[in-house]
């Protein structure tokens, strides 16, 4: 069981189980820039580095490899079955859709990284 970093109306953290807990963990891993955690500078991903890269197959493959590498290192409880990267046409950034399988159930998550979200890291 993991805890979601959203506080309920009662003031408690929201408890999540099974696939929901895994997806919360994956979101934390993939949206935390490597080097930003004092106690574990290797934790996180370098996905943010792809925001200003060309919108091409090389970048797409780099994004997919970064996701698989980070999740394989930090949380391999579920299996990634598909990754889709969609680039924005009107600004720098992308949306990643990840389909995962755990205990015979499939679930989908989306991560958005763009020039605006990078302002939170500086």
The CATH number of the domain where 38 resides is what?
A: 3.10.450.40
**Looking at the predicted structure, is the pLDDT value of residue 119 above 80?**
no
- Specify the number of domains making up the chain: 1
- Which pLDDT score is estimated for 90? 83
Average pLDDT over residues 3-29: 74
Q: Is residue 103 part of a domain?
A: yes
Q: How many CA atoms lie within 13 A of 61 on its CB side?
A: 3
Q: Is residue 52 part of a domain?
A: yes
Q: Is residue 122 part of a domain?
A: no
Q: Is residue 58 part of a domain?
A: yes
Give pTM, 2 decimals: 0.82
Cα-based torsion angle of the residue sequence 13, 95, 52, 37 in order, rounded to the nearest 10 degrees: 20
- Which pLDDT score is estimated for 117? 75
* Nearest-angstrom CA–CA distance, 92 and 37: 25
Reported as a pLDDT band with limits 50, 70 and 90, residue 122 is: very low
Q: Is residue 121 part of a domain?
A: no
**Looking at the predicted structure, is the pLDDT value of residue 2 above 80?**
no
> Residues 22-70: pLDDT tens digits?
998 999 999 999 999 889 999 999 999 999 999 999 999 999 999 999 9
Reported as a pLDDT band with limits 50, 70 and 90, residue 91 is: confident
- Which pLDDT score is estimated for 115? 87
Within 10 Å of residue 90's Cβ, how many Cβ atoms?
A: 5
Structural domain including 66 reads 2-116
């Amino acid at each position: 069981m993991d805890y979601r970093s959203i506080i309920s109306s009662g003031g408690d953290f929201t408890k999540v189980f099974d696939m929901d807990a895994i997806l919360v963990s994956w979101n934390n891993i993939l949206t935390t820039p490597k080097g930003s955690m004092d106690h574990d500078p290797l934790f996180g991903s370098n996905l943010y580095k792809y925001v200003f890269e060309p919108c091409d197959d090389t970048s797409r493959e780099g994004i997919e490899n970064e996701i698989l590498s980070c999740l394989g290192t930090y949380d391999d409880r579920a299996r990634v079955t598909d990754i889709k990267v969609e680039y924005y046409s009107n600004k720098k950034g992308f949306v990643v859709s990840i389909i995962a399988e755990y205990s015979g159930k499939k679930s989908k998550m989306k991560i958005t990284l763009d020039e605006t979200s990078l302002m939170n890291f500086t």
